[in-house]
Amino acid sequence: MGDNESIIGGDEVKGEVQIHTPHGMKGYLHNSLATSEAFTSDGWVRTGDVGYVKEGNWYIIDRTKDLIKVRGWQVSPAEIEAALLEHCDVLDAGIIGVPAKDGCGEAPLAFVVRKEGSDLKEDGVKEFLSGRLARYKSVEEVRFVEIIPRNPTGKILRRLLKDSIESKELTCQQEAAKAYVTALQRLDAYEQSRNSYDEDILLNRTSKSRALSMVTTAVYDNSTFRAAPRKRKYCPACMVSSWRKLRFPKKDA
């Protein structure tokens, strides 16, 4: 490692992935500056990937550079931020790359701080950028915030912006899970309330949603009729079971 770098020894600790192979490149041709930036002082290559190790597996989660790869194009967040700051209703802006909705690479997402009293909307931001930037540099989503996190030198802390998205998505997933559980509980309570009208039906059910076919005998005008083995409609209000169909019994030959 370099003089100002340290080796990460524990699992799930994020850091830059660096590699060292016996057949790696020696450097950039006639470009000593790029070579010095790509290599550490002891010969390791800086990949620019941020990742961690867990149980012997490597996971890549981010890039050290700010460039966003949009369908093969490299987009600079600083270029989009500079264009956004030209808007009269934008006080500050920050751009990060997020997975594209169609699954093809990344897409820029904008965090915008509006001026007080401004009614600027997402459509207005996208329309403003469309006249200043190429189509592939347009933002896919705009989120309005109160402040853009920066370090003491003024550099945007994009990692904090990405963490805010992850925490919001996690909160939405948790809320959806709670709503799903609540709906299941209400459905179960409803089915139990329907089943409680008739203890016989409750005891003879094979599942909560399907009743066993039952056979009953009805007497009318001194003639005996037997109901077909069909599911019956139960009326708890009048305590009467109505059958969909009745059949005459077979006559003896």
pLDDT above 50: residue 64: yes
Q: Residue 218 contacts by C-beta under 8 Å, 6 or more apart in sequence?
A: 224, 225, 226, 227, 243, 246
Q: CATH number of the domain at 15-62, out of 2.30.38.10, 3.40.50.720, 2.60.40.10, 2.40.30.10?
A: 2.30.38.10
Residue with tokens 């109160």: 146
Digit-coded pLDDT (tens) for 112-135: 999 999 999 999 999 999 989 999
pLDDT above 90: residue 110: yes
Looking at the chain, the domain(s) classified CATH 2.30.38.10 span 15-62
pTM as predicted: 0.49
Radius of gyration of the chain (CA): 34
Looking at the chain, the domain(s) classified CATH 3.30.300.30 span 68-157
Contact 66, 158 (CB under 8 A): yes
| CA distance to 2, 11, 17, 43, 54, per residue, from 8 (Å) | 13, 8, 10, 17, 12
Digit-coded pLDDT (tens) for 217-249: 333 334 444 444 444 444 444 444 444 444 444
- CATH placement of domain 68-157: 3.30.300.30
pLDDT above 50: residue 41: yes
Q: What is the mean pLDDT of residues 175-204?
A: 70
